[in-house]
């Protein structure tokens, strides 16, 4: 079991932070025969995070090929191993201007949403509804909303059925994590902003669950540009 000795007083962390900490632990362990990732229960206990955080973090690592469905570490014998792909993408994205990241992410999210509207399984649709409903809670705090928002877009990526699209989209979201957190922190009227964002998530959910691929693509694009309105090359990244 991989333990974090400084986890005793850790608050509930954003999904990107949980993934980052697990990646660090896995890199410290290194390639070993039979090595496995921490389980959901171990992440909850060691990192003091919610069970949803732990589950979604493991799902992200599986999508990137870092671990398999059984929790075993992917082979690291070749240059295209999952951890290497993930780290290289993160490093490359860190050198790209924020407005370019947003433009690429928008295109990918449009594609993922349209594909999800066509291919999403019933479980994916149910999870989107559940997340959208929880985000609509009238007293939801910004940090919890951000976690749910990350999980929401993760489900869309998974439901798209495109492994490559999901990998790229999640890598871009991770590269934009700090800017996203800053954007949430800068909101002056959080209750009203949360209501608007919640309506947008509901709209994307309806389009996907009803198989309206074109509408899903347009709504997710409007959602992203509405959230980052005025955020471009002139805004510090």
Tell me the backbone φ, ψ of residue 36, rounded to 5 degrees.
Answer: -130, 160
Top-confidence residue, 81 or 109 = 109
Residue pLDDT, tens place only, 39-89? 888 888 887 777 877 887 777 777 666 677 677 766 544 434 455 455 445
Question: Span 15-83: which CATH code?
Answer: 1.10.10.10
Q: Where in the chain is the domain with CATH 1.10.10.10?
A: 15-83
Angle between helix 163-175 and 15-29 (nearest 10): 100
Q: Please check the confidence at residue 102 and state whether its pLDDT lies above 90.
A: no
Confidence of residue 133 (pLDDT cuts 50, 70, 90): very high
> Is the domain defined by 96-227 classed in CATH 1.20.120.530?
yes
On the question of pLDDT at 121 being above 80, the answer is yes
Buried b (16+ CB within 10 A) or exposed e, 2-20: bebeeeeeeeebbbbbbbb
- How many other CB atoms are there within 10 angstroms of residue 34's CB atom? 6
Most confident of 67-71, 150-154, 175-179, 232-236: 150-154
Q: How far apart are CA 160 and CA 168, in angstroms?
A: 12
Stated pTM of the model: 0.63
List, in order, residues 6 or more apart from 211 with CB less than 8 Å away.
117, 118
CATH 1.20.120.530 placement within the chain: 96-227
Distance between CA atoms of residues 34 and 125, nearest Å: 35
**CA–CA separation, 187 vs 197, rounded Å?**
12
Q: 3-class DSSP state for residue 121?
A: coil
């Amino acid at each position: 079991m991989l333990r974090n000795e400084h986890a005793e007083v850790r608050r509930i962390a954003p999904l990107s932070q949980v993934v980052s900490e697990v990646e660090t632990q896995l890199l410290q362990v290194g390639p070993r025969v039979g090595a496995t990732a921490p389980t959901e229960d171990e992440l909850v206990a060691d990192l003091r995070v919610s069970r949803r955080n732990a589950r979604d973090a493991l799902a992200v690592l599986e999508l990137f090929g870092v671990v398999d469905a059984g929790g075993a570490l992917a082979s690291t014998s070749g240059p295209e191993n999952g951890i290497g792909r993930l780290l290289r993408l993160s490093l490359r994205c860190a050198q790209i201007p924020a407005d370019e990241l947003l433009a690429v992410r928008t295109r990918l999210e449009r594609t993922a949403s349209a594909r999800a509207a066509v291919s999403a399984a019933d479980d994916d649709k149910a999870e989107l509804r559940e997340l959208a409903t929880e985000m609509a809670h009238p007293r939801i705090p910004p940090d919890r909303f951000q976690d749910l928002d990350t999980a929401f877009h993760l489900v869309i990526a998974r439901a798209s059925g495109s492994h490559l699209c999901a990998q790229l989209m999640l890598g871009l979201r991770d590269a934009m994590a700090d800017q996203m957190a800053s954007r949430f922190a800068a909101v002056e009227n959080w209750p009203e902003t949360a209501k608007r964002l919640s309506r947008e998530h509901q709209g994307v959910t309806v389009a996907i669950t009803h198989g309206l691929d074109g509408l899903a693509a347009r709504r997710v694009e409007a959602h992203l540009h509405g959230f980052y309105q005025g955020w471009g090359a002139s805004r510090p990244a």
